[in-house]
């Protein structure tokens, strides 16, 4: 793929950093956008990637500024739109912090894609939040797949603003792509875990950290279940969705769904001398929790072999320890 030029928006993010790494490894030339080129915490780890010196070109772009992506996207064969704010809790102004940048940013990027004659396909990073968040998934055992859509009105009532922002952004992307003849493939990952490339703690890794250090889990997922996927699988899924000409529509990218207590049990087996907390939500009666299930057959047909939960949990925990976000010594018995 050495002759292919692609754009990755929001390249300093958790998923996007891995996507850039994997694209460079496959020989792509990558034009990557970030908000601030002078911030070493946003670009240092990208510049250090293998192949970056020869084939990575960094650009500054603003999601909500019209035309900001025109020059970057022009000449690209494909665009991976990952840039979107992730705030799962403590949202002060939903419109400004989440909804506007998610929706307007998506339309700005797609507008640049429509102008560029070179773009063959756009791969859009959405979320399982656009698939599984509705009233009955909170209270009953249910199986969801790519035909399932979250209820933004219910999400708004529950003040789940991240769910609202991702749902509205995906709807806007789908509509714009249809009206403008853009070949759009949508990736819907669960809670993303796995090793961090960037030096800062991202929101989903913070969720995992809260679980293993305090036994708390974000309420932004249906039923409070651990609906996870490995960050490396997410990166690979984006690339396969771009390269496979038969790829289409949405892809549920969830390796497994389990009670939070099970994740902590895995950690107790990995670190038998460490006393991890009990999970606050399911320590009393885990079997009473509604167990949402996500069908991942379509993702598997794309060629994704999901990383085991044991491997993902081990790798993200070791990464958090290495980057000094988690001090395991504090939990020793």
Range(s) of the domain holding residue 85: 5-331
**Closest Cα partner for 174 from 86, 244, 81, 303?**
81
Burial per residue of 129-147, b for 16 or more beta-carbon CB atoms within 10 angstroms, e otherwise: bbbbbbeebbeeebebebe
pLDDT at 324 over 90: yes
- Indicate the number of domains in the chain: 1
* pTM for this predicted structure: 0.93
Q: Which helix (H) or strand (E) holds 6?
A: strand 5-9
Top mean-pLDDT range of 201-215, 226-240, 290-304: 226-240
pLDDT in tens, 235-251: 999 999 999 999 999 99
pLDDT of residue 145: 93
pLDDT at 5 over 90: yes
What CATH number is given to the structural domain containing 301? 3.40.50.720
- Identify which has the larger pLDDT, 15 or 41: 15
Q: Please identify which of the residues 21, 31, 42, 166 carries the catalytic annotation.
A: 166
Active site includes 104? Answer: no
pLDDT in tens, 173-216: 999 999 999 999 999 999 999 999 999 999 889 989 999 998 88
pLDDT in tens, 155-179: 888 888 999 999 999 999 999 999 9
9 Cβ partners below 8 Å, 6+ apart? 16, 33, 61, 63, 69, 79, 80, 81, 82, 83, 109
- How far is CA 217 from each of CA 25, 71, 172, 176, 270, rounded to the nearest angstrom? 34, 41, 30, 35, 20
Rounded Cα–Cα distance for residues 272 and 275 (Å): 8
Structure confidence at residue 224 as a pLDDT band (50, 70, 90): low
pLDDT in tens, 114-124: 999 999 999 99
Per-chain mean pLDDT for the chain: 89
**Closest Cα partner for 49 from 21, 17, 18, 9?**
21
pLDDT of residue 223: 54
pLDDT in tens, 98-118: 999 899 999 999 999 999 999
């Amino acid at each position: 793929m050495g002759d292919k030029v692609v754009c990755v928006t929001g390249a300093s993010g958790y998923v996007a950093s891995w996507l850039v790494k994997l694209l460079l490894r496959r020989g792509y030339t990558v034009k990557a956008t970030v908000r601030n080129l002078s911030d070493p915490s946003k670009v240092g780890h990208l510049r250090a990637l293998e192949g970056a010196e020869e084939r990575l070109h960094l650009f500054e772009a603003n999601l909500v500024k019209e035309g900001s992506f025109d020059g970057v996207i022009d000449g690209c064969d494909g665009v991976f739109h990952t840039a979107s704010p992730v705030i799962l809790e403590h949202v002060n102004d939903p419109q400004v912090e989440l909804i506007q940048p998610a929706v307007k940013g998506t339309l700005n990027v797609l507008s640049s894609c429509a102008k560029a004659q070179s773009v063959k396909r756009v791969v859009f990073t959405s979320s399982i939040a656009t698939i599984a968040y509705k009233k009955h998934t909170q209270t009953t055992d249910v199986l969801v797949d790519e035909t399932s859509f979250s209820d933004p009105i219910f999400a708004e009532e529950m003040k789940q603003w991240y769910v609202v922002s991702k749902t509205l952004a995906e709807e806007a992307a789908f509509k714009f792509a249809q009206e403008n003849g853009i070949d759009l493939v949508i990736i819907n990952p669960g809670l993303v875990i796995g090793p961090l490339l960037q030096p800062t703690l991202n929101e989903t890794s913070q969720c995992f950290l809260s679980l293993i250090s305090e036994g708390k889990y974000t309420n932004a997922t249906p039923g409070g279940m651990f609906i996870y996927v490995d960050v490396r699988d997410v990166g690979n899924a984006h690339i396969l969705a771009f390269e496979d000409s038969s790829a289409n529509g949405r892809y549920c990218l969830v390796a497994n769904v389990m009670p939070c207590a099970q994740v902590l049990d895995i950690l107790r087996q990995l670190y038998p001398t460490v006393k991890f907390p009990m999970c606050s939500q399911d320590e009393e009666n885990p079997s009473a929790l509604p167990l949402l299930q996500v069908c991942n057959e379509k993702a598997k047909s794309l060629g994704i072999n999901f990383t085991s939960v044991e491997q993902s949990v081990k790798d993200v925990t070791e990464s958090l320890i290495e980057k000094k976000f988690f001090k395991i010594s504090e939990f020793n018995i």
